[in-house]
Amino acid sequence: MKVLLDRNQIENAIRTLADRIAADLSSGASVGVIGIRSRGEVISQRLARLLSERLGQQVPCGTLDITLYRDDLNCPRSNGQPQVRTTDIPFNVDDRILVLVDDVLFTGRSVRAALDALIDLGRPKAIRLAVLVDRQGREFPIQADYVGLKTSVAPDQRVYVRLAESDGTDEVVVD
């Protein structure tokens, strides 16, 4: 296993994401942060806190479950029944700039599913994508607007993001 990011590097990457996002927003912009379950949810909460500080306004945060929007839901190779959890977005998405957050951008399939789910919830002014790790292997024409770490990883390797809130430690590793 190779460590790509340790605790301090993850913290710095999320701070840099917040700085870049805040710099791109006009003063007083109506913004919301939405994390894709499950690691994107944790990263989005950290990001929303930092954006609130930088923008001088409360930035609401929500969580999006994309299970029912996945294109592999009925795939014969899937392992059992998917676990559907709640989507919790406690604010109106209409006419708001949304920052969609995920831990790893790989094929683009999760982000495609998340975009479909968000559009079903309303009509945002814009949707921007922020990811902690961007790796090669896209199957869809989806690119992140904000990236913590861009890396090349062999197709047969996996990138694991571990976060203190869910895993007891902060690190990104390749196995």
Read off the pLDDT of residues 98-112 as tens digits, 9 standing for 90 and up. 999 999 999 999 999
| CA torsion through residues 82, 115, 5, 58, sign | negative
Q: For residue range 12-40, what is the model confidence (pLDDT) as tens digits?
A: 999 999 999 999 998 889 999 999 998 99
CA distances from 128 to 11, 98, 111, 138 (A): 20, 6, 11, 18
Angle, CA 77 vertex, CA 76 and CA 81 arms, to 5°: 80
| CA torsion through residues 35, 42, 48, 147, sign | negative
- Percentage of the residues of the chain whose pLDDT score is greater than 90: 85
**How many whole angstroms separate alpha carbon 65 and alpha carbon 85?**
6
CA distances from 162 to 50, 55, 141, 154 (A): 20, 28, 27, 20
Which CATH number is associated with domain 2-21+31-70+86-174? 3.40.50.2020
Beta partners for 133?
104, 149
Threshold 0.85, pTM exceeds: yes
pLDDT value of residue 79: 62
Cα atoms in the Cβ-side hemisphere of radius 13 Å centred on 160: 13
Q: Is the per-residue pLDDT at 173 higher than 80?
A: yes
pLDDT value of residue 4: 97
pLDDT value of residue 148: 98
Q: Is the per-residue pLDDT at 81 higher than 90?
A: no
